[in-house]
Amino acid sequence: MKRAENKSVRLLQIEALLLAHSEGLIASEIARKLDVNRSTIKRCLPDLPKHIYVDDMDGDRWKIDRSNYVVNVRFYLHEAMAVHLATRLLATRMDKKNPHAAAALRKLGVSLERLAPRISTHLQQSADVMDDEAQRHDPKYLEVLETLTSAWAEERKVRLWYRGKQERINEFVFSTYFVEPYAIGQTTHAFGVFDPKGKRITFKLERIERIELLHNEAYSIPADFDPRDLLGDAWGIWYTDSEPVEVVLKFHPRVVRRVKETRWHRSEAPPEEQPDGSLIWRARIAEPQEMLPWIRGWGADVEVVEPKWLREELMGEARAMAELYGWQTHRDVVNNNTSPDLAQTFSDFFGGES
């Protein structure tokens, strides 16, 4: 093997080692693992690619800059389309600019120029949408997301300052277990644990006021941790250690077809069609409160049957909405001895007692 080829192979071996050791390795450790002389490793220094560097602030450890490491991925056509659809959801359901998502989409578009030119053009147009001025520019959010991404990749803790209830800002040392987008709120959330209790916690990225990566504080995600288990019963991202609650909804005949077109939750039971054409829908949900925006979206085409507290909450909201628009409820009619016509219409409209 020629010397240049030998050095190229050695650099690839070093890269593979450093990818497996996020804390970095000193030259003697690399030499020992590759079964070569330390001087052989030292001779590679002038030829190191930009993403491999020697950290003289950490005992001359060789490390990989994961932010500048290019991952080579090859897609089949339909795999590329799947990535496109996922990124389009990000573009349409999140309100903030994300130049990394736009760049990824452009690269995907360029790679498809010869194979599927029409799809390639659309992918690059989608990237332009992500960069559009209509998107909210939030540099603080982007800094938080980038720092958490690096911390998660390297399994390094972060120190963050979080704006919580009553606008109080609290400081946490946090270990990132995973990051999840939330379409309902157009937000992003980080799940993990915080020191010193090791207690599970979720942070909304938009409320993190400041963040810093703790380079010398490592952590390990438990081998048995699986976010699918944590969020398995959630409607979105709200989880609980309690048993999930059965939610029973009754849908009006005019929306039954639409309801049946989609599987809304992994726990939902087969829908039960009723003699009057309506549909009974059941699922076991960790925190039914999280379903409220979706239930509200169906308006008068859905009635909450169970749980009772959720039904009463919707009834209260319906009553408040009626008062907001100057309608009368059945209670108003009884108390004020006024015409029941409008009140009865309201009661029927919202499908429940008032």
For 7-63, the pLDDT digits (tens) are 788 888 888 888 888 788 888 888 888 888 888 888 888 888 888 888 887 778 888
Q: Is the bond preceding residue 271 a cis peptide, omega within 30 degrees?
A: no
Give residue 94's region: left, alpha or beta (phi > 0; psi -120 to 50). Answer: beta
**In this structure, what DSSP letter does residue 237 have?**
S
Q: What is the mean pLDDT of residues 305-323?
A: 91
Tokens of residue 345, six digits: 């219409």
Using pLDDT thresholds of 50, 70 and 90, give the confidence band for residue 292. Answer: very high
**Are the CB atoms for 194 and 201 separated by under 8 Å?**
yes
pLDDT exceeds cutoff 50 at 117: yes
DSSP 240-280: -SSPPEEEEEEE-GGGHHHHHHS---TTPPPPEE-TTS-EE
Rounded Cα–Cα distance for residues 143 and 148 (Å):
9
- Taking CA atoms, 76 is separated from 80, 83, 116, 126, in Å, by 6, 11, 11, 20
Give the global pTM: 0.70
- Taking CA atoms, 288 is separated from 42, 202, 301, 309, 321, in Å, by 60, 18, 18, 10, 21
Tokens of residue 196, six digits: 């010193």
pLDDT for residue 249: 97
Tokens of residue 41, six digits: 């490793």
pLDDT exceeds cutoff 60 at 170: yes
- Cβ neighbors of 161 (< 8 A, separation 6 or more) are 169, 170, 171, 172, 208, 209, 210, 211
Using pLDDT thresholds of 50, 70 and 90, give the confidence band for residue 260. Answer: very high
Rounded Cα–Cα distance for residues 316 and 111 (Å):
54
Closest CA to 53 of 15, 85, 79, 82: 15
- Taking CA atoms, 57 is separated from 54, 61, 63, 216, in Å, by 9, 8, 12, 11
For the chain, the first-to-last Cα distance in angstroms comes to 86
> Which one has a higher pLDDT value, 104 or 313?
313
pLDDT for residue 3: 58
Rounded Cα–Cα distance for residues 96 and 55 (Å):
34
pLDDT for residue 337: 55
Using pLDDT thresholds of 50, 70 and 90, give the confidence band for residue 133. Answer: low
DSSP 163-189: E-GGG-EEEEEEEEEEEEEETTTTEEE
pLDDT for residue 344: 44
pLDDT exceeds cutoff 80 at 180: yes
Using pLDDT thresholds of 50, 70 and 90, give the confidence band for residue 219. Answer: very high
Cross-strand pairs, 173: 159
